[in-house]
Structure 1
Amino acid sequence: MNFFVILNARKVKTTLLVVMISFFTALFLYSESAGYYPVFSTSAGPKAVYQGEKGIALTFNIGWGDVQAAPILDTLEKSKVKSATFFLSGAWAERHPDLVQRIVKQGYEIGSLGYAYKEYTEMDEPEIRRDMMRSQEVFQKLNLKKVKLLRSPTGHFDKKTLKAADSVGFTVVHWSINSNDWKSPGVEKIIQNVQGADQGDILLFHASDSAKQTAVALPNIISQLKKKGELVSVSDMLSNGKVKTTLIQ
């Protein structure tokens, strides 16, 4: 009888030990992955990131043009901006491999703006997916690491856009503050449009040829932003804190 009790006690201790090891292993794995918040793996449905928690992200869209990208890169370099994210259309990147390589050389992150700068909300899901994949093929030919971030070309997106992006491994990134620099409203107006930016904000600028005043406005903007927080890439923002997402029904 005593032998039976001792044997059962050993089994209980062994079982408890296995349970505790499993628990702490699961806790460790969770803590390792908790810093990154995938926006598509929720039961609520597909989402797009528009704001983070730590840092301030400068983002630039380039869909067309030959003139404004270089001066903006010059300004960022002179202002000692080490982190930014450029969303490039595949068609533009294909025609400007030298500028793409300069963006990479300056240490900036590259995201996709699709390939042909089409309005995704007017396309069906397979067509959207093909456009996204075509841009990815261009980036691969340019020897870029796999691009994981995507911004809808016109800024408009719907549920099928998010589903298509999810299916090919993209995270859709919107913005929390729009400079409206592409309208060329005046340097002071561009500065005013973003003066409320703070920790966690994703700022939208352009480096297409419509952004004629952006390079002039940036030094003042960058100076003010650096007083509020660290300038980071979008990927760093996503991995270093909570993110805010918007749900498309």
Structure 2
Amino acid sequence: MKKKIIIAVIVLAAFLIVNSPIVHNYVSALKGSALPAVKETDSLYQSIVKNAPEYEKPPSDAKIDPVWKAIPGYNGLVVDLAASYQNMKKKGTFDEKKLVFKQVKPKVQLKDLPPSPIYKGHPDKPMVSFIINVAWGNEYLSDMLATLKNHNVSASFFLEGNWAKKNPELAKMIISAGHEVGNHSYSHPDMAKLTAAQTREQMVKTNEIIEAVTDKKTEWFAPPSGSYRDETVKIADELNMKTVMWTVDTVDWRKPSPDALINRVMGKVSNGSLILMHPTESTAKSLDRLITLIEQKNLQIGTVSELMSEERVIK
């Protein structure tokens, strides 16, 4: 019994010594002083430090633009000195391809801005997004979903509430294919002419239907025909939704030829573009070639949430 007590006392004493603040601080001091000392005399480390500023990018704050309204921020880049050093240590020479970066968030993000519509993403972000408003055109949805799948592209489908209520299986199909869904009002009214109560009803009713059908909460609201007033945007914001417009309109409801639709889009598309389309025959026939041409311009295609995030695209 005495032996067990002695052993227990020894173990406890050892534990207290190892976890003593004095011992902990001493070990930390040794670690902290040894590594920098080595790096101060290491030519590779100093080369990384010297070259790092050439590759770093400052973060860009979200802002309200006088023309484009709300513009999301964009992360900056700083070189991770320690990780880059480890990456290059084996050869011992500086190699820009082995630099490791950390992203730095902007001080002002999209969520910090006052309620304002969004017409495009950040102009430095090489990404675009398809905004597909759905209130009709069921016969073309399957082809469009198949094309998006073939290209491994995710889009944002803005669903009219009444449509989602009548077509729950199609709404579920959109979600199961990995796409994002947003709010496109309940009955496609002119939102600028509605009272505040009517506006809220249109949005809330649609959100409830979409969540009931897809089990997804909506973060984005696309007003029918792009019609809104400041109060519309404010009410959407109160319901935790940002109002999304577009940068490039396919005008596919006018039934343009595939060539005409593609030329229209490719003549205007650039970093951050929000491309408006609907499930129409023109878009269904154009989508495959349109995706290919957009990607050939070194532009990624993502959802509205991906485009609006501050996450930097690193090629």
State the TM-score, normalizing by the size of structure 2.
Answer: 0.61
Deviation at 1:81, TM superposition (A): 3.3
**In the alignment, does 2:188 pair up with 1:117?**
yes
1:71-220 matches, within 5 Å, as: 71-78=143-150, 80-195=151-266, 196-207=268-279, 211-220=280-289
Match of 1:50 among 113, 119, 126: 119
Kept in 2: contact 1:182–1:212 (CA 8 A): no
Kept in 2: contact 1:85–1:234 (CA 8 A): yes
Distance 2:130 2:108 in 1: 21
Deviation at 1:99, TM superposition (A): 1.2
**Residues 33 and 92 (structure 1), Cα distance of their counterparts in 2 relative to 1, 3 Å cut:** farther
Post-superposition Cα deviations, 1:103-132, rounded to whole Å, max 9, x if no partner, equal 111111101101111110111111101110
Post-superposition Cα deviations, 1:118-159, rounded to whole Å, max 9, x if no partner, equal 110111111101110000110121142211101002211111
The structure with more radius of gyration: 2
Post-superposition Cα deviations, 1:89-112, rounded to whole Å, max 9, x if no partner, equal 011111111111111111111011
Match of 1:221 among 276, 281, 290: 290
Match of 1:230 among 295, 300, 305: 300
State the TM-score, normalizing by the size of structure 1.
Answer: 0.77
Kept in 2: contact 1:91–1:135 (CA 8 A): yes
Deviation at 1:64, TM superposition (A): 2.0
For structure 2, the 5+ residue unaligned runs are 1-103
**Residues 213 and 105 (structure 1), Cα distance of their counterparts in 2 relative to 1, 3 Å cut:** same
**Farther off after superposition, 152-161 or 171-180:** 152-161
Q: How many residues align?
A: 204
**Farther off after superposition, 140-149 or 119-128:** 140-149
Kept in 1: contact 2:172–2:214 (CA 8 A): no
Deviation at 1:160, TM superposition (A): 1.5
Q: Name the SS of the counterpart of 2:225 in structure 1.
A: coil
Q: Name the SS of the counterpart of 1:60 in structure 2.
A: strand
Kept in 2: contact 1:148–1:170 (CA 8 A): yes
Post-superposition Cα deviations, 1:163-206, rounded to whole Å, max 9, x if no partner, equal 21112111000010001111102111110110031211110010
Post-superposition Cα deviations, 1:24-59, rounded to whole Å, max 9, x if no partner, equal xxxxxxx667584127x43xxx31011112211111
Q: Name the SS of the counterpart of 2:118 in structure 1.
A: strand
Could you list the structure 1 runs, at least 4 aligned residues long, displaced by more than 2 angstroms after superposition.
31-36
**Residues 34 and 70 (structure 1), Cα distance of their counterparts in 2 relative to 1, 3 Å cut:** farther
Post-superposition Cα deviations, 1:182-231, rounded to whole Å, max 9, x if no partner, equal 11021111101100312111100101xxx221111111110011122111
Aligned equivalent of 2:83: none
Match of 1:60 among 92, 107, 132: 132
Distance 1:194 1:48 in 2: 21
Distance 1:143 1:175 in 2: 25
Letter in 1 for 2:273: D
Kept in 2: contact 1:176–1:203 (CA 8 A): yes
1:234-249 matches, within 5 Å, as: 234-240=304-310
Deviation at 1:240, TM superposition (A): 2.5
Letter in 2 for 1:109: E
Aligned equivalent of 1:8: none
Distance 1:100 1:131 in 2: 18
Kept in 1: contact 2:191–2:227 (CA 8 A): yes
Distance 2:153 2:274 in 1: 16
Letter in 2 for 1:71: D
**Structure 1 vs Structure 2 CA RMSD:** 1.9
**Residues 154 and 166 (structure 1), Cα distance of their counterparts in 2 relative to 1, 3 Å cut:** same
For structure 1, the 5+ residue unaligned runs are 1-30, 243-249
